[in-house]
Amino acid sequence: MASCPKRCRRDTIPPMLLGRRTPVTTFLLIAIGVCFAAQYLTGLEDGPLVQLGINYGPAVRQGQYWRLVTSMFLHGGLLHVALNAWGLYQLGSLFELLLGSSRLLLVYFVTGIAGSLASDIFTRAPSLGASGAIFGVMGALIAFLLRRRGALTPQGKSILMQLVGWAVINVFFGFSTPGIDNSAHLGGCAAGLLLGFFLPEHRAAIPAPEPRDYRGGL
């Protein structure tokens, strides 16, 4: 049997791998990692970076609007950043392949800001973390797949069910565990659901191999 050509091998790379197809996911993960390293060096909980960047309603209302964004890149500890990085890796990669890099960037920041605002309104305590934006990406994926549910393959339907299940479990966990900002989660997810219903499919995200690529590759 002939070996699979280079283009065929490229187009059958597992989609969750970071790289050329997921530049925004890679950039966001690097940015979160760099910020966490800076936090570690200057103070994880009360260092100057945290004091300047944490989301805090009274400070935001006084005009420090950058906190709505900077808090998305700050985390409270190693477990916190590790869980959020894993979630962003999984959901961001999938989103970027289906809908494109520019849309991921848009959804991440819009839903992250929505989550920060929800936290300021309903929690009124200082907050930090990327989870509002990650829930936003998950909500956008759910809405996008729901809108196309009639055309989904069995694999697509399985992904949709997993996303819904993950959302339900995490919301329940958030309500039952002290210290989790469920307002940011729900605010980000709601914004993502709204955006997801209007996002068109990014057909160029996963290019189809040319017909000759299949010869000897099956």
| Token couple for 120 | 């300021």
Range of the domain at 178: 6-209
Query: Domain with 136 in it: what CATH number?
Result: 1.20.1540.10
Asked whether the beta carbons of 209 and 11 are under 8 A apart, the reply is yes
pLDDT tens string 167-184: 999 888 888 888 889 999
Neighbours of 46 (CB within 10 A): 9
Q: Nearest CA to 188 among 129, 128, 127, 113?
A: 113
Q: Does residue 10 register a pLDDT over 50?
A: no
Query: Does a structural domain hold residue 216?
Result: no
Asked whether residue 1 carries a pLDDT value surpassing 50, the answer given is: no
The answer to whether position 11 is within a domain reads yes
- Give the C-alpha separation, 216 to 5, whole Å: 9
The catalytic site residues sit at 131, 185
Percent above pLDDT 70 for the chain:
83
Domain total for the chain? 1
Residue 217 is assigned to a structural domain of this protein: no
Which of 108, 89, 109 lies closest to 22, judged by CA? 89
Note whether residue 139 is domain-resident.
yes
Of 204 and 108, more confident? 108
Structure letter (DSSP) for residue 127? B
Mean pLDDT along residues 8-21: 52
Q: Residue 113's Cα: distance from chain center in Å?
A: 13
Contact in structure between 129 and 71 (CB atoms under 8 Å): yes
**Residue 152 covered by a domain:** yes
Residue at 42 is within a domain: yes
User: Has residue 214 been placed in a domain?
Assistant: no
Q: Angle CA(168)–CA(79)–CA(15) in degrees, nearest 5?
A: 65
Q: 16 pLDDT band (50/70/90 cuts)?
A: low
Predicted pLDDT at 66: 97
Q: Is residue 218 one of the residues assigned to a domain?
A: no
List alpha helices for the chain, DSSP H: 6-11, 23-42, 48-53, 57-61, 67-70, 78-99, 101-122, 131-147, 154-176, 182-196
pLDDT digits (tens, 9 = 90+) for 116-162: 999 999 987 899 999 999 999 999 999 999 998 888 899 989 999 99
